[in-house]
Amino acid sequence: MSDYIVEMDSIFKTFPGVNALDNVSFNLRAGEVMALLGENGAGKSTLMKVLCGVYQRDSGTVKIFGTPVENLDPTQAQGMGVAMIHQELNMCTHLTVAQNIFLGREITRGGRLDERAMRQRAREILARLNIEIDPDTVLGDISVSKQQMVEIAKALSANAKILVMDEPTSALTAKEIDDLFAIIRKLRAEGCGIVYISHRLDELKHIVDRVTIMRDGHFITRTNFADTSMDQIISNMVGREITEKFPHVQCERGAKILTVRNLNAGKMVRHIDLDLYAGEIVALAGLMGAGRTEITRAIFGIDPKDGGEITLDGKVIQINRPEDSIRHGVVLVPEDRKKDGLCTRLSIRENIALPNLDIICDRTGVVNRRREREMVTKTVESLSVKLSGPEMNAGNLSGGNQQKVVVGKWLARTSRVVIFDEPTRGIDVAAKVEIYHLMNDLKRQGIGVLYVSSEMPEVLGMADRILVVCEGRITGELTATEATQEKILELAVRFESKLERGVA
Ligand SMILES: Nc1ncnc2c1ncn2[C@@H]1O[C@H](COP(=O)(O)OP(=O)(O)OP(=O)(O)O)[C@@H](O)[C@H]1O
Ligand SMILES: [Mg+2]
């Protein structure tokens, strides 16, 4: 037997209209972390779903621990020690943490569910991972990041020896990412083989031993991480050099577009004052959970306001619901694409058309198909969405391409202010640059751009002004020239020490 615990050779897989995998090979050793990299739609998730029995390959060979496998289904794969933490979390939010961990593998006693044993086991596994969550908590009541941790616990409870993590850090805080890396190192030391998929290339150096790179469904290269460079990795992923990762443009600051005065909404939005001018991009920086998303939701009218005034182009406007906001030309590209941004069962065309029906319908309220087609084509092309056609189910797009549709549908209409919440989450390096160019275009057109980002390089690289948020308040403002990572972090933890002492 070779020392590979996974060997995949000449794998082909097509979906209607797409060659998702075209002669791909892959391998993994025990006790290593293999990064699987590639642009959005390259086929990473598909390849791993073939390994986990979620998809059946069209042809090719797969060996797990040296044993050739045919017609693998997810239960068999699990039985062989393969577990996958999926890109889009798919757990039951109405069940408890313990119930989720043991879903499908419930512990029974005398033909009945042994809730106590499951709770106890769940507690042990969570403790092993250093996660403080009560196993009885209903999953939907905890943050997405904690849910992600529960998903990892679930994989470990199944004694996985081959663990696939598909973008595990996209919703985690810096501290949680550190915890996750500690877990990964521990599992590696215990002999687990780990496949690590991520678009956050700067994390690779902390944990990765080897990298496999795919492009457009093809295998490109496989190498030791130590023998390659970030530039090489990127050019292998994209097929060309990317010279400018943050294409910042300087514009003349114009008139004031939006002002927010003393905005309060619930616990997480406290006395917010902010101004947005034409010709600038403003970032809301801060730690995960600081209240940045809540600020954007309150402005946009999703969450009720407890008070405050919003002025657009010098006129006070009332925003009580998102419809009001959209009517005034203030749009929000939300953070959680699956929940708030996309109708996964509708087509790409329908997703783009939906918020823009006012533009594409004629006066009698009937959809003008030509206008609709033009809008869809333009949106899809300007963001290079990788799709088999506009009628494709939006849910079948790769994760990053779904994000592009969420962004694109709002850019299809003329707006005064565009608010982006984590616009590049899960998006590959090249597409990130495309989104930055779009933000720049908006800026040049004199549209106000406000964005939330947890990625420090992105905050520093694209913003003209940075507002730092901590515990629902704006704790400081920095211009692009004076801002540094240290200064932002200092403002971002302004109340943290008090919180720890329970003063809040
Ligand atoms: N169930 C499906 N039906 C139709 N097409 C699919 C399906 N699943 C994946 N595809 C297509 O296969 C291709 C590869 O998708 P995949 O999800 O593997 O990409 P990825 O590398 O994981 O991208 P990302 O980084 O955006 O997650 C894409 O073109 C995608 O649209
Ligand atoms: Mg994917």
Tokens linked to 319: 């925003």
Nearest 5°: phi and psi at 15?
-115, 160
pLDDT value at residue 499: 45
Residue bearing the CA closest to ligand 1, atom 22:
45
Could you tell me the distance, in angstroms and rounded to a whole number, from the CA of residue 82 to the centre of ligand 2? 18
Q: Which two tokens stand for residue 237?
A: 């992923």
Local confidence band at 82 (pLDDT 50, 70, 90 cut-offs) = very high
**138-142, 167-171, 335-339, 375-379 — most confident range:** 375-379
Q: Please give the single-letter amino acid code of residue 418.
A: V
Which residues face 162 on adjacent strands? 82, 193
- Ligand 1 lined by 41 (C-beta under 6 Å): yes
The reported pLDDT for the residue numbered 130 is: 77
Q: What is the DSSP string of 54-110?
A: SS--SEEEEEETTEE--S--HHHHHHTTEEEE-SS----TTSBHHHHHTTTS--EET
Q: What is the mean pLDDT of residues 396-422?
A: 87
Q: What is the mean pLDDT of the chain?
A: 90
* DSSP sequence for 341-369: I--TTSBHHHHHHGGGHHHHB-TTS-B-H
Any atom of ligand 1 within 6 Å of the Cβ of 45? yes
Using a 6 Å cutoff on CB, does residue 38 contact ligand 1? yes
Atom 18 (ligand 1) nearest CA: 43
Chain Cα centroid distance, residue 180: 16
Instruction: Quote the pLDDT of residue 496.
Output: 57
| Most confidently predicted of 151-160, 162-171, 189-198, 357-366 | 189-198
CA distance 253 to 58: 56
Reported as a single tens digit per residue, the pLDDT across 435-469 is 898 899 899 999 999 999 988 889 999 999 999 99
> Given the structure tokens 């943490």, which residue do they identify?
97
Stretch 392-396: mean pLDDT, rounded? 91
Q: What is the mean pLDDT of residues 99-113?
A: 89
Q: How far is the CA of 396 from the centre of ligand 1 (A)?
A: 7
pLDDT of residue 498: 47
Question: Is domain 244-329+415-504 classified as CATH 3.30.360.10?
Answer: no
Answer yes or no: is pLDDT of 480 > 70. Answer: yes
In this prediction, residue 504 carries a pLDDT of 35
Question: pLDDT value at position 383?
Answer: 79
pLDDT, mean of residues 347-352: 94
Does residue 170 line the site of ligand 1, with CB under 6 A? no
pLDDT of residue 159: 83
| Average pLDDT score over residue span 47-69 | 96
pLDDT at residue 2 tops 70:
no
Q: 191 C-alpha to center of ligand 1: Å? A: 30
Phi, psi of 431 (to 5 degrees): -70, -30
| Contact yes or no for 249/436 (Cβ under 8 A) | no
Half-sphere exposure at residue 149, Cβ-oriented, CA atoms within 13 angstroms: 31
Answer whether residue 503 shows pLDDT above 60. no
Ranges 150-159, 265-274, 329-338, most confident: 265-274
pLDDT higher than 70, residue 310:
yes
- Ligand 1 neighbour 396 (Cβ under 6 A): yes
| Phi-psi label, residue 404: left if phi above 0, alpha if psi -120 to 50, beta otherwise | alpha
Identify the architecture of domain 4-238 in CATH.
Answer: 3-Layer(aba) Sandwich (3.40)
Cβ–ligand 1 distance for 397 under 6 Å, the answer: yes
Distance between CA atoms of 6 and 278, rounded to whole angstroms?
54
Distance 41 CA to ligand 1 centre (A): 5
Distance CA 309, CA 313 (A): 13
- State the pTM of this model: 0.78
Give the type of residue at 391.
Answer: E
Pinpoint the residues of the chain covered by CATH 3.40.50.300.
4-238, 244-329+415-504
Q: Which ligand is nearest to the CA of 43?
A: 1
Q: State residue 236's pLDDT score.
A: 92
Residue 15 Cβ < 6 Å to ligand 1: yes
401 lines ligand 1 (CB under 6 A): yes
